[in-house]
Structure 1
Amino acid sequence: MVARPAAAEPRPTSASEGQPPKAEAKRYGPFTRTQWVGAIILGVGGLVLVAALVVMLARWVVGLESTQGFLAAYPGAYDLPEGAPVGFPAWLGWQHFFNVFLIVLIIRSGLQVRRETRPSAFWIPRWSKDGSGKISLPLWLHQSLDILWLLNGVIFVVLLFATGHWMRIVPTSWEVFPNAASAALQYVSLDWPTEHGWVNYNSLQQLAYFVTVFVAAPLAAITGVRMSGVWPKSATVLNKAYPVEAARAVHFPVMIYFVLFIIGHVALVFATGALRNLNHMYASQDAVNWTGFWIFVASMVVVAAGWVAARPLVLAPIANLFGKVSAR
């Protein structure tokens, strides 16, 4: 009789065998949620380390004898021309609020336009008979806010020069540059320059406000007009001289500048005497009390309400007053 081969012993299986493969974690862009958390923690830690090293280096530079002489000669600000106004009038506070409200919503709608691929609603101008000029509803909001922001800016500049307040934000001496360098060094070393905002900005503030009002804002307007529907599409020579690609290449970095300016501006407002600074901007008074703070809180509630309301359900009836809103 031929012997039958012995049956093979069963191979032990692991607990995972026979089970469906584990689903891959959802990715948000290039990373999963856990990877994003790790990257953010690592990035923040790296920034804190770099900031600490920069502060230590700045404090060492400030301690040098030659730097002490420079700081004594250029304390961070220079005297304004004789007759320069003191304080902040009420119209400036209102202008500041309108500007904050509009620029926040402009940034929100601009980012929405930049990332949207399939808009859910469109706006067609009332004068259009063939549907020309059709744009997405977020783009209509962005361009409408731009018009209001430009109007507010024109009123601001007119009042600025009519009342003499231009001297507070337009450099009137070459000393602005060494004083700005001095103020920057003092900020970085955390031995911040003395604040006299009710009377005079330091030179770094003055340059920042000048660039924002007279450089960044016009650039945003000029590039925005080039990208808008009001630009003549048939002007071949003009389009060749000023291509839309050039406008796009400038428009987004200008928006990033405004974001960084707002972050830095708000941080310094709260870090250099919040109650007094908020009173300057919102209550038109040089005092340390809570009046400006509560006006600021109320203004932020209005801005937040505008942010939440900037959606098709709310925008469509408003846009219909100036044209026709349609779905895809």
Structure 2
Amino acid sequence: MIRKTARIALAATALCAFAAEAYAVEWNVSVWGKRRAFTEHVEKLAELVAQKTNGEFTLNISYGGLSKNRENLDGISIGAFEMAQFCAGYHRDKNPTITVLELPFLGVSTLEQEVAVSNAVYAHPAVQKDLARWNAKLLMPSPMPQYNLAGVGDAPTGLDSFKGMRVRATGGIGEAFRAVGAVPTSVTATEAYSALESGVVDAVAFAQHAHLSYGTIDIAKWWTENLNPGTVNCPVVVNIDAYEALSPEHRAALDSSIEPAIQHYLANYGKLLDRWEAVLKEKGVQKVRLPESELQAFRDKAAAPIRDAWIAQMSAQGIPAQELYDLVQETLAKTR
């Protein structure tokens, strides 16, 4: 009787251990570079999910160990990993709908507005269908402030200064600089420092965190503080099959952690912006502020023409381009 009871207890223990092991979920997350303001919401999401599930659901974040940044969407599509971050401008043909968020001079002026317009676009059925082609579900944005240039050589004094300038700029920002005679190139963020150092490019368009993280501000001689042509859109996505396979409890833990992760990101980025001026002074970088007349000329050359061309091109592909653009503007109006 004692031996029988022991066997039953042992079997029950083994069954419980197996169930616990089977219930544990581990996701691999592909990002790139190093931990920085751009990835803080992913880090916070992992922390919150683990806390809410008592460690039963974990996100293992890899900085470049799983995939190249331009291949993260492909990795998601084949289930090579469950979550990833990517930028729309890296492969515009693969995610045409969200490139509306990379059009120049949209009028976004704060990170909170960037979150609002991104979430509105991500929720549109045409956008969800677009990303579903890659088995990807849009989870959250990676809001960034307006891009500006850090460069070497002579500092720009007006639009004429950009003629022939080789600029690292992707998406709509690249098209904006092309409109004023610059030569945009879409080298990846991780290649930007070496491109600037070796003279492959004369200037790099980044948000402040990226100029810091990738070291471009360390070799720059000048920085444009008020060009503000636009920004890039870099969503965090999850593999649809992996998301749907989650238990209701794990899915709730993930979904409920998105908003606090974004709020953490915004607070952290705000601290970075607060010390940006000190960084420029410390590194001896000249601040370049173009006259309003030159900025308006930039907008005249780049905003409407690029927007109209985008709408025509996307509409020809069956994408509700005008509807998506209007959605951005309507959301901005409500947010303001």
User: Greater helix percent: which structure?
Assistant: 1
TM-score range, shorter chain: under 0.3
Q: What TM-score, normalized to structure 1? A: 0.24
TM-score, reference length from structure 2:
0.24
Structure with bigger gyration radius? 1
